[in-house]
Structure 1
């Protein structure tokens, strides 16, 4: 993909919109109170050819990172990026923990609380709702991260 920006403008925007730090170390949990000015939209690392950025938010951290490289070819800035999970274990845990919890709750109701069938139905419906909601919310955060990256760096 290409960017409307020049190489120097792209690097300037990287510097102006990125809080420096390793995305894997903090998992999106960054500073609460700004010390040196306003909170920047991205948190991550970058150099002269590559970048690795995530959302700079303590309220709504995400499991995803925008990783890529950029170079200037014939006065056109070419940006190759992908949105990847920050940590494979986190992604697996967020996808499969609701299933494990549903199984554990059902085994509990099956063996230890035989008289609470209505409660098990309500609990199961609630857990299913939470499982689908959490997956939907993570996909929404992933899409929002990519849209913010494309908007700030004017990628087409």
Structure 2
């Protein structure tokens, strides 16, 4: 009988953990003061376009080689950037650059950082982002946040 209770307890704990992870996936978090003040790692700074005609927001997606959700995030972010003025998407593979993820405080992939033209972190999304919610959160930072369909 003890074995049945252990099995039930394990199943309940697994379901609760799964529900918590699903709830946190794709959640948008505003950049805190500590994150906004840190200098960007060189690979991230290198992908920013700081020219006067550059994008208002650059979405830097941190991915790893064998990450299945990263491919889905790439598709969502790529399509969003294609149809939104002032938005650019760049994917950065951190498989062989764990120090980049560590410097940015990234614990899982995919993680997407929304960076302003000067490299200031506007927000971050852990997991696969939801395009409408991300666009709404970035609307204040974009010159025109309406898709150009």
Larger radius of gyration: 1
**TM-score for the superposition, normalised by structure 1:** 0.22
**TM-score for the superposition, normalised by structure 2:** 0.23
Between 1 and 2, higher relative CO (CA 8 Å, sep ≥ 6) is seen in 2
